[in-house]
């Protein structure tokens, strides 16, 4: 079982706090977006990896309609009532749980409350999607507790809606889908128009090196939502000038973009340039990995970061420094920012045999440049979210 020590610690905390044992538990991994940055909500393609870091959620039934939720790291508790579900005005972590409960309740009646607790080892703010891991583990555990049957695609949408309506972030489905569909030593290829999911081999000799800048941009959510709105403006433009339906930027070919970019508002043109070219990189990347051409795939990662830096403008000096430095470290095959950007982490594709040397080289260079450490981790593509049998 993944992260057994973490799970056992959570089980002990649950028993100590509530005085009873949990009856169901679920695990959901974080994710690393490997290629396909900000393409998910543009109905495009993404190659991503569920990672060997994640979040556990355990629960037991309550005797009434009240629901108690504890964040196991801080031992902070919040409560909610099934009859009056609403976002917390404080914008707390409980909103992710509240939104998932609301989504399950909309599908089927929930007869009673629950006692819940979650705990994991995904660093907050690192760009590895601790929020989606919390949503998905909550959804799986509570669906099991209440015997609610939910497909994985439907669970992803429930969790996405929770983030939209309860946390206020208009995210795509990348984080939730990756967490649900990951496989060991493989990347998840997702078509975000059809939600068709497949996997492609990465190979057992490769790993991902995550470098966390610890930069937490104060305007991440507003910047993210702004990028979505600007992409929508670009879609409206192409829908008005192309003689066929354009529903999302996924429908625009690079040749069509280039022929029309001079007519576009400059910022919208830059955002569209990134998304349209990024979709083409993902499709090409899948072909390269299927053919075992990992080195060529790595070049696409560097191209992706350059596009994020100049066109989508969701990078920052710390991320740029790490990617630039990674390009010169032996054993690094490709590198780019990971996730929403504006801070957080980069992901580097590397040979496993070189991972420790790469981590040390990047951490040392970062501290010398910025005066504080950069947390680095070698992670592996891992299995997706699943129910864990409750301990006897």
Element housing 152 (H / E): helix 152-162
Write down the pLDDT at residue 197. 96
CATH assignment of the domain containing 159: 3.30.230.10
Residue 39 near residue 180, CB atoms below 8 Å: no
Residue segments in the chain with a per-residue pLDDT below the cut of 50? 1, 391-392
Q: Measure Cα distances from 101 to 60, 146, 173, 293 in Å.
A: 14, 11, 18, 43
- Do both 216 and 351 map to the same domain? yes
> Quick one: 29 and 51 in the same domain?
yes
- Examine the domain organization and report whether 99 and 193 are in the same domain: yes
> How many residues make up the chain in this entry?
392
To 10 degrees, the CA torsion angle through 266, 269, 270, 272?
160
- Predicted pLDDT of residue 125: 65
What per-residue confidence (pLDDT) applies to 390? Answer: 56
In this structure, the answer to whether residues 236 and 184 fall within a common structural domain is: no
78/171 same-domain check: yes
Q: Are residues 175 and 221 in the same domain?
A: no
> What domain range includes position 234?
206-379
pLDDT reported for residue 124: 73
In a shared domain, residues 171 and 222: no
Q: How many other β-carbons are positioned within 10 Å of the β-carbon of residue 389?
A: 8
Same domain, residue pair 253 and 104: no
- Which distant-in-sequence residues (6+ apart) come within 8 Å of 292 by Cβ? 203
Maximum alpha-carbon separation in the chain: 67
> Could you tell me if 217 and 237 lie in one domain?
yes
* Residues 179 and 30: beta-carbon distance below 8 Å: yes
> Could you tell me if 250 and 193 are in contact, meaning their C-beta atoms sit under 8 angstroms apart?
yes
- Nearest of 6, 56, 3, 30 to residue 347 by alpha carbon: 30
Same domain, 214 and 195: no
pLDDT, residue 182, reads 97
The one catalytic residue in 40, 73, 147, 175 is 175
For this structure, is 356 an active site residue?
A: no
Same domain, 193 and 214: no
* Number of compact structural domains in the chain: 2
Residue in the structure block whose two tokens are 């028993």: 15
Token output for 73:
């790291």
Cross-strand partners of 334: 349
Query: What's the confidence (pLDDT) of residue 220?
Result: 62
Read off the CATH number of the domain in which 290 is found.
3.30.70.890
In this structure, are 32 and 124 located in the same domain?
yes
């Amino acid at each position: 079982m993944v992260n057994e020590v973490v799970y056992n610690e959570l089980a002990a905390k649950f028993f100590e706090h509530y005085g009873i044992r949990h009856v169901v538990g679920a695990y959901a991994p974080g994710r690393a977006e490997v290629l396909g940055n900000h393409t998910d909500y543009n109905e495009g393609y993404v190659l991503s990896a569920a990672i060997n870091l994640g979040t556990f959620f355990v629960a037991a039934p309550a005797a009434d309609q009240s629901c108690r939720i504890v964040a196991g790291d801080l031992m902070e508790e919040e409560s909610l009532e099934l009859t009056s579900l609403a976002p917390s005005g404080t914008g707390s972590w409980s909103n992710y749980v509240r939104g998932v409960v609301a989504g399950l309740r909309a599908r089927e009646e929930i007869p009673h409350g629950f006692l819940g607790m979650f705990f994991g080892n995904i660093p907050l703010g690192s760009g590895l999607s601790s929020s989606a891991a919390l949503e998905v583990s909550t959804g799986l555990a509570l669906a099991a507790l209440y015997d609610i049957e939910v497909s994985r695609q439907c669970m992803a949408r429930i969790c996405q809606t929770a983030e939209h309506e309860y946390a206020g972030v208009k995210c795509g489905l990348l984080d939730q889908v990756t967490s649900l569909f990951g496989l060991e030593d493989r990347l998840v290829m997702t078509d975000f128009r059809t939600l068709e999911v497949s996997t492609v081999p990465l190979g057992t000799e490769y790993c991902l090196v995550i470098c966390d800048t610890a930069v937490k941009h104060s305007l991440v959510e507003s910047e993210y939502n702004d990028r979505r709105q600007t992409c929508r403006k670009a879609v409206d433009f192409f829908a008005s000038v192309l003689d066929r339906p354009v529903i999302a930027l996924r429908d625009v070919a690079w040749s069509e973009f280039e022929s029309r970019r001079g007519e576009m508002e400059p910022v919208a043109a830059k955002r569209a340039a990134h998304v349209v070219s990024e979709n083409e990189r993902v499709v090409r990347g899948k072909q390269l990995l299927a053919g075992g051409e990992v080195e060529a795939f790595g070049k696409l990662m560097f191209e992706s970061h350059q596009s994020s830096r100049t066109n989508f403008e969701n990078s920052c000096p710390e991320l740029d420094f790490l990617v630039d430095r990674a390009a010169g470290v032996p054993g690094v095959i490709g590198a780019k920012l990971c996730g929403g950007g504006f801070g957080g982490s980069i992901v580097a594709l590397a040979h496993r045999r070189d991972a420790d040397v790469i981590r040390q080289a990047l951490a040392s260079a970062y501290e010398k440049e910025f005066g504080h450490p950069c947390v680095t981790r070698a992670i592996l593509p891992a299995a997706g979210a699943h129910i864990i049998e409750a301990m006897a």
